[in-house]
Each structure stands twice: as C-alpha cells, then as structure tokens.
Amino acid sequence: MKAFNDENTDKNNFDNAYNVKIFLEILPVATLLNKRNPELYESGRCIRCNYTTETWTHIWICDQTETSIIQIINAVFENLKNKLDKIDFRINYNFHASLLYILNEKSKVVFNGRIFHEAIKGIVNERLFLEIEDKVFKDNIASFVEDIHDMARKFMWSERCKRFIEWEIRQGITKQMKKASKLYKSSLPSLGHDGKKKNIFISDVLQRWTGHYLNNDVAAKNIWYELGVEDLWKYNSLVTFRPSYYSSNFSILD
Ligand SMILES: [Zn+2]
C-alpha cells in the first residue's frame, strides 16, 4: 500500500485521488456515469466492445483494449526478472508461471475479480511472495505489483478515457452539458454536509473495502480525513455499487 503512504500535497493530489478511486472501484466507468447522469449516459454499456456493461472489473478485461492486462503483466515480469538477475537472485523453477497462476486466481477482496485486479489497485497479495522468506525478494514483488498498478493506469485507463472522450464527441456530449447535468439533473440525492453521517460513511467504507488489509495501517486510514475525497462522499451511494460477474470467464492463462 505504498501509494497511500506519501503525504498529500498539491503535486500528488491528483495521483492520490486516482489511487483512492481505483481502490474503491469508483473510477468514472459507464455504469457509474449512467447512474450519475442518466440523461447523458443512457446505458452503462461498454463503448469499446459494445457487449457487456462497463464496470470497474470490466475495464481491465474488455477484449477490445489496445493493451491487454496480460501484456502488462508480462512486460512487468521481464523487469522483475532483470532486477533479480542483476543481484544474482536465483529461483530454480518457472516462477513466471507460478506468478501468473496466482494472479489469475479468484480474489477474496475484489468482488468477482482476480488477484490481478488486486494488483491493479496496488494491493500486494502475500501469495505472490511464493513462500520465499527473503526481504529483497519481497521488496521486488512489491515493486512488481506497483508496476502493474502504474502501467494499468498509464496504458489501460488513459487509453480507455481517450476512447471514451472520442465516443462522447460522437454522441454530441459536450463539457457544458456534463457540467449542467452534474449540477441540476443528477439522479443522486444531495447528501449535504452532515459531519456525523460523513464519519459513519467513512468508517463503513473503510471496513467494507479495506478491512483486513488496512487494519493496522494508520497512514492509510488518515487519507480519509486528510485528502479531499468530497467526490466519494457526494457519490456515497455508488460506493456500495458492486461490480459485475463478467470476469468469471476471463483468464490470463490462455
Ligand atoms: Zn468492453
């Protein structure tokens, strides 16, 4: 959870906002936009494959992406392998296959997601340590996960946003329309600024989503109070919105 440990400054506020949103699965995907602005976004369908609804889970497994999560994992693995080779750290079996196998397993914390979905969020699942009790190796695995998180943003999320903006232009959805719709026509009730409710919400979110990972991580807890996450509060009903079932047929081992 390195991403949450940095202090929040103007410079990294943008990154922190992304990290929080990706962690809670509330990046502005079509299902969420449809709920937020049904007048502008009539369906939650994925504009790339035009087949399934676009949930947070789907972003990373859509078959119409230009860069696939498998490509990212393999590129990041090469990097890991080079670093281990450099320090002469040898593993006498095909640990690339072992890592892929684990990343493809069902996640216990991402609803209908895989362990690679956890990695995209920046969560280091300890099974990825392959039961190797070595600090250097564990640090390298943590960087491996961080690289997956960074590359997924850089190559997959930005690409999807680019395609989505092009789609919006084709639909005639302008910035002004988005602004006006957000202000006056949102289907979400305004939640006001009730401090007590807000604190209950924060504690709910922490327990539900970050539970056992963050139990003892004070820095991660503080982010809720220190970072400008008004967006989360405003869309509080969306945080309980659960992703789809579509990842059940997806595999990175094919
Ligand atoms: Zn799709």
Lowest average pLDDT, out of 10-19, 106-115, 166-175, 197-206, goes to 197-206
> Is 64:216 a contact under the CB 8 Å cutoff?
no
Structure token pair of residue 220: 């991660």
State in Å: Cα 6 to ligand 1 middle: 33
State in Å: Cα 61 to ligand 1 middle: 7
What's the mean per-residue pLDDT of the chain? Answer: 79
Alpha helices in the chain (DSSP H): 10-23, 30-36, 56-59, 69-86, 95-104, 115-121, 135-151, 158-171, 175-184, 195-205, 211-214, 218-226, 230-234, 236-239
What is the pLDDT, as a whole number, of residue 47?
96
Whether residue 182 is predicted with pLDDT greater than 70 in this model: the reply is no
Quickly state the pLDDT bin for 39 (edges 50, 70, 90): confident
Lowest average pLDDT, out of 123-127, 133-137, 214-218, goes to 214-218
d(CA 139, CA 25): 26
Q: What is the DSSP string of 56-110?
A: HHHHTT-TT-SS-HHHHHHHHHHHHHHHHHHTT---SS-HHHHHHHHHHSBPSSS
State in Å: Cα 98 to ligand 1 middle: 28
State in Å: Cα 64 to ligand 1 middle: 6
State in Å: Cα 161 to ligand 1 middle: 13
What is the pLDDT, as a whole number, of residue 186?
44
- Nearest one of 28, 94, 29 to 62, comparing CA atoms: 29
State in Å: Cα 235 to ligand 1 middle: 24
Range among 10-24, 40-54, 72-86 rated most confident: 72-86
Torsion of CA 162, 44, 246, 77, to 10 degrees: 20
Lowest average pLDDT, out of 46-60, 129-143, 147-161, 204-218, goes to 204-218
Q: Which amino acid is at 61?
A: I
% of the chain beyond a pLDDT of 70? 67
What is the pLDDT, as a whole number, of residue 68?
96
Quickly state the pLDDT bin for 228 (edges 50, 70, 90): low
Backbone angles phi, psi at 182, to 5 degrees: -60, -40
pLDDT per position as a tens digit, 149-177: 999 999 999 999 999 999 999 999 998 88
Whether residue 190 is predicted with pLDDT greater than 90 in this model: the reply is no
Is this prediction's pTM over 0.85?
no
- Nearest one of 245, 244, 224, 248 to 236, comparing CA atoms: 224
- Nearest one of 151, 126, 146, 109 to 243, comparing CA atoms: 109
Quickly state the pLDDT bin for 1 (edges 50, 70, 90): very low
Whether residue 185 is predicted with pLDDT greater than 50 in this model: the reply is no
State in Å: Cα 111 to ligand 1 middle: 18
State in Å: Cα 249 to ligand 1 middle: 14
State in Å: Cα 53 to ligand 1 middle: 7
Quickly state the pLDDT bin for 7 (edges 50, 70, 90): low
- Nearest one of 30, 24, 26, 23 to 47, comparing CA atoms: 30
Q: Which amino acid is at 154?
A: K
State in Å: Cα 151 to ligand 1 middle: 19
Whether residue 220 is predicted with pLDDT greater than 80 in this model: the reply is no
What is the pLDDT, as a whole number, of residue 92?
93
Give 87's strand partners.
none
Domain layout of the chain by residue ranges:
2-249
State in Å: Cα 117 to ligand 1 middle: 16
Distances (CA, A) of 44 to 39, 109, 112, 141: 12, 24, 18, 35
d(CA 46, CA 59): 9
- 118 vs 4, residue with greater confidence: 118
